């Protein structure tokens, strides 16, 4: 749970101009002494410190269903992002596709659990009960997500939402600033180039499956995901098996 000593309680009236000013100062303060490349992580850390959440991560999305984890606050946040990448479904994936917030307040039962039943089961096994994914980007285009999780069910309070959305905007701005330092690359390519190393093996394995089976990239990635799921692996682990020649794909 975050530290709320400097912010009003849930029973107080909605945020006013002074409250938003203090939130802006908190975000700005989190960047003190931080280099540009580390700014998104610092802002993400501020979310964990100041919101009533257990952990957070930032993931970036690109073409052909690619996704890369930029930063996570703890191993559970990282595994949660990996689970969604492996399955191809979850709040993060939905937020990317819809370019809209996806707030899953209870993965143990009800609508949220039914929407992504396999992901919800894996999340609960990790000790996660609620996930809130906020798109990063502008003009209806999501290039990534800020993903917050909590170890108990419950919706984000009005106070937390009033902080989380400006924080997502600040992370987007920080990523844009990083991208501005890349003179020749487009936005998605530059951001993914900085974060994608953990999933390079997935792209290589996907390419091999494309050649083996004559598939397009989305279908080849879906085949790799299905293989990973059937064996209880992450998609990265399955990719390593393909690259090592321990598994082949036949029609």
Tens digits of residue pLDDT in 134-179: 998 876 778 889 999 999 999 999 888 888 888 888 888 877 776 6
d(CA 167, CA 44): 8
Q: Region of 196 please: left (phi>0), alpha (psi -120 to 50) or beta.
A: alpha
Can you tell me the distance from the alpha carbon of 184 to that of 132, in angstroms, rounded to the nearest whole number?
34
Please tell me the distance from the alpha carbon of residue 132 to that of residue 150, in angstroms, as a whole number: 9
Please state the φ and ψ torsions of residue 249, each to the nearest 5 degrees: -115, 125
Domains of the chain: 17-195 (3.30.450.40), 198-243 (1.10.10)
What local confidence, expressed as pLDDT, does residue 22 receive?
62
What's residue 29's pLDDT?
67
Could you say which residues of the chain have pLDDT below 50? Answer: 1-13, 64, 183-192, 194-195
Considering the entire predicted model, what is its pTM? 0.71
Question: What is the predicted pLDDT for the residue at 21?
Answer: 62
């Amino acid at each position: 749970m975050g530290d709320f000593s400097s912010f009003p309680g849930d029973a107080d009236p909605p945020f006013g101009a002074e409250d938003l000013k203090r939130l802006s100062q908190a975000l700005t303060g989190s960047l003190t002494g931080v280099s540009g490349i580390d700014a998104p992580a610092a802002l993400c850390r501020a979310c964990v410190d100041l919101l009533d959440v257990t952990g957070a991560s930032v993931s970036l999305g690109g073409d052909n269903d690619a996704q890369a984890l930029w930063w996570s606050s703890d191993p559970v946040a990282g595994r949660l992002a990996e689970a969604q990448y492996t399955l191809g479904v979850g709040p993060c994936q939905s937020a990317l596709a819809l370019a809209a917030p996806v707030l899953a307040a209870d993965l143990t039962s009800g609508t949220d659990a039914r929407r992504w039943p396999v992901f919800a089961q894996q999340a609960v096994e990790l000790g996660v009960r609620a996930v809130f994914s906020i798109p990063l980007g502008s003009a209806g285009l999501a290039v990534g997500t800020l993903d917050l999780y909590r170890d108990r069910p419950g919706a984000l309070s009005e106070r937390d939402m009033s902080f989380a959305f400006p924080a997502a905007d600040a992370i987007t701005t920080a990523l844009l600033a990083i991208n501005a330092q890349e003179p020749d690359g487009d936005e998605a390519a530059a951001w993914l180039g900085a974060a994608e190393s953990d999933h390079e093996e997935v792209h290589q394995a996907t390419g091999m499956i494309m050649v083996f089976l004559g598939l397009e990239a989305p279908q080849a990635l879906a085949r790799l995901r299905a293989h990973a799921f059937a064996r209880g692996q992450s998609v990265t682990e399955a990719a390593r098996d393909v690259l090592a020649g321990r598994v082949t794909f036949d029609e």
